[in-house]
Amino acid sequence: MQAALTPHAVSLAGMNRNVLRKMDQRGPRYTSYPTADRFSERFAVKDYLHAVSDRRGMGAWRALSLYLHIPFCDTICYYCACNKIVTKNRAKAALYLSYLKREIAMQAALFSGMNHVEQLHFGGGTPTYLSDSQMGDLMAHIRAHFTLAPDEAGEYSIEIDPRTVSVERVYSLRAQGFNRLSLGVQDFDEDVQRAVNRVQPEEQTLDIIAAGRTAGFRSISIDLIYGLPKQNVMSMARTLGKVIDAGPDRIAVYNYAHMPHLFKSQRQIKDEDLPGAEAKLDMLSLCIRQLTAAGYVYIGMDHFAKPTDDLAVAQRQGRLHRNFQGYSTHSETDLVACGVSAISAVGGSYSQNEKTLDEYYARLESATLPIARGIQLSMDDVLRRLIIQRLMCNFELSLTSLEIAYPIVFREYFADEMERLRLLEQDGLISIEDEWITVESKGRMLIRNICMVFDRYLNQDLTQARLAGMEATPQRYSQTV
């Protein structure tokens, strides 16, 4: 077993730029495996009901993670790739809540007797698009149908746009039961903010962070993005300095995924305003240096946390997990997701709700869960999911433990994968021993590329594309660097 990660365990220093360019491919973020694009409409409500029934039949019931999707926003941020509805018509939110509460009640009935919730997350869109009274009513509805763990034991988080909340609203959110805040910042530079149509004064953000501290939130997280239009190394350094001074518990630094062919709002961003590949690598390297120098621990992918934060503690203890909300400390929970487009993970299945409001409402009007598609995992899927989870969360893989848990000889079952892993080893990204595969320091920011080796579906697509003489680039995925 490798030593626990230190705050300075990740670096791009000394990495061959040719290796970085080679690794700059398109690939999944692996919030699930198989990834959501592999879900099928053949998976129906009855399959989800079987998954819940199987879970009940296990007897040793686990706590739940509950996710609620609030899709509404006041204004459009050009970079955004989320499932969202931009409107100033607040009546739409009131109607949506009436249906969302129906779905919550239906899910609670399914999980009757095993509906203990240890983790709750509100995502969007902008969850604070809801009024204070609407949020209070929704939280009361959740408590009436699910049993929430005490505040000190549960993790109850909400994504907020600092432009949509006051200091008083922050205190109200804490009183309503939330104990973690996630703030969208992206960049403090005014030119960058204008270029992405998200003007957010620095003082406004800092006031909300300060309010979160005094209100007693257990953790405050900030989201940043590198690769946005008008960004450069100097502007990024200034933003990072301000973020570090604010002292959030967690910082996520996402790589902007420019896919205007998929997301209409991104067509408002001029290609000539985007930083080039070399500039993005420089910004990534800067983020690593500046955040680790400030004492933040690299958790994985694009996440950093203070050593005392629950994520860092969970990683040191081998309890870190990854799901549709990113890294999580609750590895033994099934995820029940409510709302338009929301994705649940129950037992050996994934299921996704309808993606449009009309279809979502129609399903609930007919008194059925609004599940549109999903997938039932095979043994191979479960095995590969476990491998990807361990690599992304722990940066190492015990081959012996897998052979004990599954009827395989690792090097035989994954013979093709081992050949590709040897190439990564030659590039200095991993080391392969008799019983362990370990991700080296230089490979940690490229963990998506390493995990792609074990993605059977992706590799089948690439093989078929090559045989057909086509470009083997999955355009539905973002760049890995």
pLDDT band at 410 (very low <50, low <70, confident <90, very high): very high
What pLDDT shows up at residue 2?
42
Do 184 and 322 lie in one domain? The reply is: yes
The CATH number of residue 39's host domain is 3.80.30.20
If one counts every other C-beta atom within 10 angstroms of the C-beta of residue 473, the result is 12
Do 309 and 383 lie in one domain? The reply is: no
pLDDT > 70: percent of the chain: 93
pLDDT band at 8 (very low <50, low <70, confident <90, very high): very low
Domain range for 94: 31-338
Cα separation, 110 vs 102, whole angstroms:
13
Do 424 and 304 lie in one domain? The reply is: no
What pLDDT shows up at residue 451?
95
Do 332 and 383 lie in one domain? The reply is: no
Which of 404, 403, 405 lies closest to 414 in space, CA to CA? 403
- Write out 340-399 in H/E/C secondary structure: CCCEEEECCEEEEECCCHHHHHHHHHCCCCCEEEEEECCHHHHHHHHHHHHHHHHCEEEH
pLDDT band at 62 (very low <50, low <70, confident <90, very high): confident
Residue 1 burial by Cβ neighbours in a 10 Å radius (0-12, 13-18, 19+)? exposed
Residue 204 lies in a domain: yes
Of 361 and 326, which is predicted with more confidence? 361
Q: What is the pLDDT of residues 208-233, one digit of tens each?
A: 999 999 999 999 999 999 999 999 99
Tell whether the model's pLDDT for residue 259 goes beyond 90. Answer: no
Last residue of a domain, one of 286, 312, 338: 338
Q: How large is the average pLDDT for residues 111-119?
A: 92
Do 324 and 386 lie in one domain? The reply is: no
Last residue of a domain, one of 323, 338, 353: 338
Query: What is the total count of domains within the chain?
Result: 2
β-bridge partners, 351: 344, 374
What pLDDT shows up at residue 472?
57
Q: How large is the average pLDDT for residues 135-151?
A: 97
Do 433 and 288 lie in one domain? The reply is: no
What pLDDT shows up at residue 1?
39
Tell whether the model's pLDDT for residue 18 goes beyond 80. Answer: no
Tokens representing 357 are: 């409001």
pLDDT band at 190 (very low <50, low <70, confident <90, very high): very high
Do 313 and 393 lie in one domain? The reply is: no
Q: What is the pLDDT of residues 435-479, one digit of tens each?
A: 999 999 888 878 899 999 999 999 888 887 777 766 555 566 766
**CB contact at 8 A, 395 and 2:** yes
pLDDT band at 135 (very low <50, low <70, confident <90, very high): very high
Cα separation, 18 vs 40, whole angstroms:
38
Q: What is the pLDDT of residues 66-93, one digit of tens each?
A: 999 999 999 999 888 877 899 989 999 9
Of 10 and 286, which is predicted with more confidence? 286
The CATH number of residue 429's host domain is 1.10.10.920
Do 245 and 333 lie in one domain? The reply is: yes
Last residue of a domain, one of 314, 338, 362: 338
Do 121 and 260 lie in one domain? The reply is: yes
- For the chain, the average pLDDT equals 89
Do 245 and 131 lie in one domain? The reply is: yes
> What does 257-293 look like in DSSP terms, one character per residue?
---TTT-GGGGGS-GGGS--HHHHHHHHHHHHHHHHH
What pLDDT shows up at residue 69?
96
pLDDT band at 328 (very low <50, low <70, confident <90, very high): confident
**CB contact at 8 A, 432 and 421:** yes
Do 387 and 314 lie in one domain? The reply is: no
Tell whether the model's pLDDT for residue 480 goes beyond 70. Answer: no
Do 243 and 383 lie in one domain? The reply is: no
> What does 283-298 look like in DSSP terms, one character per residue?
HHHHHHHHHHHTTPEE
Q: Which amino acid is at 413?
A: Y
Residue 1 lies in a domain: no
Using DSSP's 3-state secondary structure scheme, residue 230 falls into: coil
